[in-house]
Structure 1
Amino acid sequence: MECVTAPRKHTADVHRKAMTPVTVQPYRDPQLHSTLCALVNINGTDAYTLFDTGSTTNSITLEFAHISRAPKIVLEEQVILQLGCSGSRSKINYGTRVPVKVGPVSELVYFDIYGVVLDMHNRQIVVNGTMIPAFTVEEDKAFRKDRKTDKRSPEPFKASQ
């Protein structure tokens, strides 16, 4: 018997055929397992933001803090950053307190701990009781495509309101 191995594909490159019979594999609506993303204005700079339900901190990269001119606060005590992989030993040395605007909500936020509720069922981000819709799959694709080709319109692409 001859053994033939097929070239391996990355899971991001694997797509289910649109006409796959239900008996073979159940249909999964892309809206139900997409990421919860929205455009968030941080210190006057729009940021394409992924809301992570497993995170214990709100964080921005040092590069984004620099680009948005966020004032750096040197922490008296370093905070251990525990990532979901073995061997992660990073520490947070800095923080910042900046104005953040998500939909109609605008507040001064310290980036470490902040009360945000993620409503996965309704695909909304709830900030202090105010509901802000996340990008739809179509909005997310359009935003990422425009970012890739840098064909953004002068008006930033915002989550539907």
Structure 2
Amino acid sequence: MERSGHRFLWVVRAPFRADPERPLNPGANLDLDALLSDGFLERTNGRGLIVELWAPQVDVLTNRATGAFVMQCRWNSVLEGIAARVPMLCWPLYAEQKMNKLFVVGEAGIGVEVSRAALGQFLSDADNLCHGNSFKLYGLQLNETWQCQF
């Protein structure tokens, strides 16, 4: 997000706990300096907003300032992104998220995969997804109704 040069909102939550019965710690006190790279907050000041723990995702996605949605491809997030008509930048980490990414990127054509190995190509693909002629949902051209606000 820092290298993209675009404005962003990033919801950061606490790392998972070892307890499989309660892996999330919603009351955790986050140490952003420990979680983020050195100087990240200073370098993105005025362009990026970091929110700790939780944000109303549907409200964020339906806000007209939202240009794209970087996500891990959890199914509810996929459905919310589709309903909000927001292009999706897919970064699956595990389990069904990888299958969901295949749907978003390959089947529906409404997202691109985030790849650390090809960051430059990813940024180009993301820009084309938002502003090019390749943004389709099951073959329907949606450029006029799916608008990115980069």
TM-score tier (shorter): under 0.3
TM-score (norm 2): 0.24
Greater per-residue strand proportion = 1
TM-score (norm 1): 0.23
Mark the structure with the bigger radius of gyration.
Answer: 1
